[in-house]
Amino acid sequence: MSKRLGNSSKQKLATLALLGAVAGLGYQIDVAQADTAATPDQQAPKTTVTSPAEKTNQLQDKSATLGRSQEEPSQNKSGNVEKTQAGEKTEPQPEKTPAASAPQAPATPEQTTPDKVTTPAKHDAPQPANLDVAQPQQPAKQARMAAPVAPVDVQTGVWGTSKWTLNDQGTMTIFAGTLGKAFNQFDSANDNIFGATKVVFDGTAGKIVLPANANSLFASFEKVTAYEGLDNVDTSQVAVMNNLFAENLALTSIDLSSWDFSHVSNVSYLFAGQSPAILEEMQLKSVKLGKSFNAAINLTGMFQNATNLTDVDFANWDLSHALNIQNMLSGTGFSTLDVSGWHVDRVTATRDAFSNMANLTTINLGDWQTGKVGNAIGMFRNDPLLTQLNLTNVGGQYITNLLDGTTGLSQLVLGPNTVLANDYGNVALPAVQVNDDYTGLWQSVETGATYTSDELVATYDGATMAGTYVWQKTAPKPVTPVDPGTPVNPSTPDVVTPAPTPEAPTPDIVNGGDAATIDDGAADTVAPKKNVKAAPVTPTVKASGQAVKGTRAAVATTTMPTAAPAASKTPAPQATQQATLPQTGEQKSSWLAVVAGALSMSLLGAHWFKRQD
């Protein structure tokens, strides 16, 4: 029987091996075929068929791009392709009937694609292939359109003795002569003039002379962005220039350094903008007047409300003749000012001269001597970013609200002639901020005496109190000493560190071999042997291996701080819990189970072979 069983087993095993090999080979072929199947992204691109109409559009676009410089095919009603040179007319050819026409070879796609699709007429008479003779002349037409168009004068007139023109491009040109009085902006006949965007002074035939009273000559030219040919203007006779460029809202810069200001005494509101209530702000940023600007007496509101103005050649100015500078720079955009070179000994009015300057942080007045100033009302009011100010020589009879709104002013230099209050009012010095850094008081640098803003204004005596005053700082906060060896933040409460928990005794660990198997179920519960020390039970999870007869027992303790305790199916007093290997969930089993399984499979196989034989 053993021989028959051996031969039969060999035959059957060989047969099973062969069938397995065939099945495996088939599976591999099937997998390979599935892997080589084209994905949608790997499939061959689809062929796009372009209709004759689409090709016609493409060829027309290509011809338009090349300017019709190449020969282009055209097709008549009979379908014959003709070639024409750009600029030549296409002569119509009679249509041939199918019987009379000789057989022709198939045309290429480029030849059979019509350049222009012509809808056939209702009758059967031959029609010309292309009647659009203007199409080949398209480049010439485009060249004519690209040529610059000469300005067309739409309005002319005489201003004083000077002729002027205004074209449809918005350019106003003024020719040689002497200008008269300003245009009336409320006269509707002058609407086009005030719509000019550029003014050009043409000096070809001579200078353009401004009259002695040039009041408002170019005022309210709100759309003018530039004045050209300013060196062709003669200002030697001008005495009054007030409002000359007032409310030129679109003008960004102007250079008048070539002008003669030696006789100009009144430049009030020369570049003034509109009132903030109108909400139309000036775009003016830069102005140059030159060294000859030294005779001005009245500079009232010269740049008032020019909110974007930040560049003026102040260094070249001589204001030794100036008497009135009130509102001069009010509402401008300067962040710093240095007017220490101005000689303002004769100035009697500085009212609001530097008020409403939202960006001003510092101003250098130098050794200004303005003790004779009669009106200094609101001279620095509403300058919130101004931080320091020297009022040593600034004073006057009317000083009401001189410092009103200077909420950031933290340093004041006061002199013997400084006046903070009188019978007509006071400077309205703002209160000092109270916060973690400042106490809300002014402190004398020289004496250390402290005052509130109201007290300083009310009690200031230039003879005894002259000096520098600053905001008093708060006293430093006490710092709690900290043990250098203890890294504890003093601003946080003490933290008590708990005593360390004694470590649990580590149980004896015995290597149980490599025959662990993965089993999702719970391990069999077997009572441990007497010579094996059971792991103590703690609040954390402790897993112990089970001892199996005939093998060495493995007892391992694994601590899992964040895992919940595993439930035991048989809560016996001496029973151990389920042993879970770290990170895998595998469970150990003994060699006896493996050997028993293999032996059982062998017996079953031999029995099956015997029954087959």
Residue 446: DSSP 8-state: T
User: Of the given ranges (34-38, 356-360, 364-368), which has the lowest mean pLDDT?
Assistant: 34-38
Domain boundaries, the chain: 513-558+577-613
Tell how strand 233-234 and strand 208-209 pair up: parallel
Helix (H) or strand (E) holding 5: helix 2-35
Helix (H) or strand (E) holding 4: helix 2-35
User: How far is the C-alpha of 399 from the C-alpha of 6, rounded, in Å?
Assistant: 128
The percentage of the chain sitting over the pLDDT mark of 70, rounded to a whole number, equals 54
How many helices and strands (H and E) does the chain possess?
7, 24
The percentage of the chain sitting over the pLDDT mark of 90, rounded to a whole number, equals 42
User: Of the given ranges (407-416, 482-491, 492-501, 578-587), which has the lowest mean pLDDT?
Assistant: 578-587
Residue 213: DSSP 8-state: B
* Phi and psi, residue 467, nearest 5°: 155, -165
pLDDT value at 228 more than 70: yes
Q: Which long-range contacts (CB under 8 A, 24 or more apart) does 539-547 make?
A: 539/565, 541/565, 541/566, 541/577, 542/577, 543/577, 543/578, 543/579, 543/580, 544/576, 544/577, 544/579, 545/512, 545/576, 545/579, 545/588, 546/576, 546/579, 546/588
Confidence (pLDDT) at 209: 98
The secondary structure of 585-606, three-state, reads CCEECCHHHHHHHHHHHHHHHH
| Number of alpha carbons in the 13 Å side-chain half-sphere of residue 230 | 15
Confidence (pLDDT) at 584: 45
User: How far is the C-alpha of 473 from the C-alpha of 451, rounded, in Å?
Assistant: 13
Q: The tokens of 313 are what? A: 């050649």
Q: What is the CA radius of gyration of the chain?
A: 52
User: How far is the C-alpha of 26 from the C-alpha of 19, rounded, in Å?
Assistant: 10
384-395 pLDDT, tens digit per residue, is 999 999 998 887
Residue 145 banded pLDDT, cuts 50, 70, 90: low
- The pTM for the full model equals 0.56
Confidence (pLDDT) at 61: 53
Residue 132 banded pLDDT, cuts 50, 70, 90: very low
Confidence (pLDDT) at 479: 74
Section 544-563 average pLDDT? 41
- Non-local (6+) Cβ contacts of 91 within 8 A are 128
Confidence (pLDDT) at 327: 97
Section 79-107 average pLDDT? 43
| Number of alpha carbons in the 13 Å side-chain half-sphere of residue 543 | 19
Q: The tokens of 600 are what? A: 């059982």
Find out whether 139 and 74 touch, Cβ atoms under 8 Å.
Answer: no
Q: CA dist 1 to 59, 499, 599, 609, Å?
A: 92, 78, 20, 11
Section 505-510 average pLDDT? 50
Instruction: Please state, rounded to an integer, the average pLDDT across all residues of the chain.
Output: 72
113-126 pLDDT, tens digit per residue, is 444 434 444 444 44
- The candidate with the shortest Cα–Cα distance to 443, out of 471, 422, 419, 401, is 471
Residue 107 banded pLDDT, cuts 50, 70, 90: very low
